[in-house]
A and B are shown apart, each in its own frame.
Chain A
């Protein structure tokens, strides 16, 4: 059972969304206001009445919403440490408390002198805020479950690429060819190979330091260079890469694998892959560029899968704060990834 432990299959544990993420904030604003619009449509007597109703709802909703978002932003580190259901409860209590507070301090804004049924209004708003809160949290839970599949698939895909016969047997063959003449180099190659397998089997849920991913990519390239020799060249532009940045594992290596398989191998004279990593303000930018013969390369479904998976993982982990761009021309192919810069010890 021991070895099973290292290949965890269970799903990502439920977690509250990261309230400091811009994408999460935008989603909360959009959904809450969408629900408000829905309510306005239900209450209105005619089209002209809709904006009026919407305004009425917004006068209470907007201050509550903004205060909540601000408080959630501040409470994020603390919420992070709570168990999921405690977190849910905390968020609900917070929303309810803010609603009541805004209602009472709002004074005549929400309680025109003509109306006396303050108790009913208070309970009504309280229930509404708890409901909206529950809807939002359900949505985020559903979203993270839908996307967390991508994390598992990433590992499976990388594993599959590793045992892709083309890579596996050709590499073993290359190692065999140097066993007699360069035993030391053969040893290193086998060590590199086991590192690549180990990484593919590791748990995909945590972020890893950038230097670890660079190291892994270098080992992968070393193995391919053993086979392809001079034909495979890599231009590492990583002097400015922040070593302490955290990134999702297997972000860079699959991109390099694509570049080798689709870019370099079909070229008789080989070519050069550019890997550029740098920090730009609060962002980390990664760029992988390779020569590409569009004419001769047969469309290959695996390529699409690896890229699709990286995109899904970025969406799950960083929402709108990560960007992903593919450019291809007559003779090149370029993937650019931008993600928030996180420092190793800051989390």
Chain B
């Protein structure tokens, strides 16, 4: 049980340095009773994801309120890791999140964190299973700020605000930014619902960023299309608008 091989590998994510240092102190106190090892720490989501791809860990102690990307969103992206870690959320106070954690029996620690609570959480963590991505998505009151994309064994974070359009093709969704394309394994309907404020549907298989619409062009009449095409800013490719979505030409034109 207490052999070195079985030591619990722990990673700390918090944007406030004193909060990380406090956790380190407490973990050090815990280490007398639980075999554990602090593998690393990060001050933001991107850094955490990069480091965790290199070194897999058992438990991530994850702060909820962080700039740029909050903890609940990061937890979703971490679930795409080959061996997703068990997440223990830490928070000073988040009425909404705490209620949801109780509901789904997700472990969380309230700051200032007590040694006893941390100890209990670590003891439980061995047996715990990662929280389902769907549950995490319900926990997040607002849309994600990044899409996490698997590519050659790595996970890329693509800021949603850089995405020009999302198009469903066969098994994947094509995510198009001004620079390049990515492939994403999610459902277009779910994405459309989550990002309803930013994207608008122009076709059964395509949603485009409202802000990026530059104009509309009348293309050739063919197939099921309405004949109208969307021109997006910084993109040469024209996207067909279906007959059913023809009204957007009036709304955004």
Residues of A within 8 A of B (CB): 165-166, 168-170, 172-174, 176-178, 180-181, 226-229, 265-268, 295-296, 298
User: Per-position contact with A for B110-153: 1 when CB-CB < 8 Å, else 0?
Assistant: 11110000000000000000000000000000100100000000
For residue A230, which residue of chain B has the nearest CB? B17
CB of B239 to closest CB in A, whole Å? 25
Interface-centre pick from A166, A174, A226, A298 (highest chain B CB count, 10 A): A174
Q: Is the CB of B92 within 8 A of A173?
A: yes
B19 at the interface (CB under 8 A from A): yes
For residue B45, which residue of chain A has the nearest CB? A268
B68 at the interface (CB under 8 A from A): yes
Q: Is the CB of A265 within 8 A of B67?
A: yes
Q: Complex: how many Å from CA A173 to CA B67?
A: 18
For residue B46, which residue of chain A has the nearest CB? A268
CB of B238 to closest CB in A, whole Å? 28
Name 8 interchain pairs, CB-CB below 8 A, sorted by A: A169-B93, A169-B111, A173-B22, A173-B113, A177-B22, A180-B25, A265-B67, A266-B67
Q: Is the CB of B16 within 8 A of A170?
A: yes
Contacting residues, chain B, for A228 (C-beta < 8 A): 16
Contacting residues, chain B, for A169 (C-beta < 8 A): 92-93, 110-112
CB of B219 to closest CB in A, whole Å? 33
Which listed residue (B22, B25, B67, B93) contacts A166, Cβ 8 A? B93
CB of B72 to closest CB in A, whole Å? 15
Q: Complex: how many Å from CA A128 to CA B128?
A: 85
User: Per-position contact with A for B11-25: 1 when CB-CB < 8 Å, else 0?
Assistant: 000011111011001
Q: Is the CB of A174 within 8 A of B65?
A: no
What DSSP secondary structure best describes chain A's contact surface? helix
Contacting residues, chain B, for A296 (C-beta < 8 A): 68, 145
Contacting residues, chain A, for B17 (C-beta < 8 A): 229
Q: A170-B92, A266-B68, A268-B15 are in contact. List 5 more A-B contacts (CB 8 A).
A: A168-B92, A169-B92, A173-B113, A181-B21, A227-B16
Contacting residues, chain A, for B15 (C-beta < 8 A): 268
For residue A264, which residue of chain B has the nearest CB? B67
Q: Complex: how many Å from CA A166 to CA B63?
A: 12
Q: With A166-B92, A266-B67 given, is the CB distance from A173 to B18 under 8 Å?
A: yes
Q: Is the CB of B68 within 8 A of A176?
A: no
CB of B188 to closest CB in A, whole Å? 25
Contacting residues, chain A, for B22 (C-beta < 8 A): 173-174, 176-177
CB of B162 to closest CB in A, whole Å? 13
Q: Complex: how many Å from CA A172 to CA B67?
A: 20
Q: Complex: how many Å from CA A168 to CA B110?
A: 12
Q: Complex: how many Å from CA A18 to CA B179?
A: 65
Q: Is the CB of B111 within 8 A of A173?
A: yes
Q: Is the CB of B67 within 8 A of A170?
A: no
Contacting residues, chain B, for A174 (C-beta < 8 A): 16, 18-19, 22
Contacting residues, chain B, for A166 (C-beta < 8 A): 65, 92-93
Q: Complex: how many Å from CA A59 to CA B18?
A: 74
Q: Is the CB of B92 within 8 A of A268?
A: no
B44 at the interface (CB under 8 A from A): yes
Q: With A180-B25, A268-B67 given, is the CB distance from A165 to B92 under 8 Å?
A: yes
CB of A94 to closest CB in B, whole Å? 58
For residue B90, which residue of chain A has the nearest CB? A173
Contacting residues, chain A, for B44 (C-beta < 8 A): 268
Chain A to chain B: the 9 pairs with minimum beta-carbon distance, closest first: A165-B93, A177-B22, A169-B92, A177-B18, A174-B18, A173-B111, A173-B112, A170-B92, A268-B68
Contacting residues, chain B, for A226 (C-beta < 8 A): 18
CB of B68 to closest CB in A, whole Å? 5
Q: Complex: how many Å from CA A140 to CA B21?
A: 57
Q: Is the CB of B19 within 8 A of A177?
A: yes
Contacting residues, chain A, for B18 (C-beta < 8 A): 173-174, 177-178, 226-227, 229
Q: Is the CB of B19 within 8 A of A170?
A: yes
For residue B21, which residue of chain A has the nearest CB? A177
Q: Is the CB of B112 within 8 A of A176?
A: yes
Contacting residues, chain B, for A173 (C-beta < 8 A): 18-19, 22, 92, 111-113
Interface-centre pick from B65, B92, B113 (highest chain A CB count, 10 A): B92
CB of A226 to closest CB in B, whole Å? 6
For residue B69, which residue of chain A has the nearest CB? A268
Q: Complex: how many Å from CA A176 to CA B25?
A: 10
CB of B226 to closest CB in A, whole Å? 32
CB of A260 to closest CB in B, whole Å? 12
Contacting residues, chain B, for A172 (C-beta < 8 A): 111-112
Q: Complex: how many Å from CA A296 to CA B113?
A: 29
Q: Complex: how many Å from CA A298 to CA B141?
A: 12
Q: Is the CB of B67 within 8 A of A267?
A: yes
Contacting residues, chain A, for B68 (C-beta < 8 A): 266, 268, 296
Contacting residues, chain B, for A229 (C-beta < 8 A): 16-18
Give residues 144-180 of B contacting A (CB, 8 Å): 145, 161
CB of B93 to closest CB in A, whole Å? 3
For residue A295, which residue of chain B has the nearest CB? B161
Q: Complex: how many Å from CA A226 to CA B67?
A: 17
Interface-centre pick from A165, A180, A268 (highest chain B CB count, 10 A): A268
Q: Complex: how many Å from CA A227 to CA B15?
A: 9
Contacting residues, chain B, for A265 (C-beta < 8 A): 67
Q: Is the CB of B111 within 8 A of A170?
A: yes
Contacting residues, chain A, for B145 (C-beta < 8 A): 296
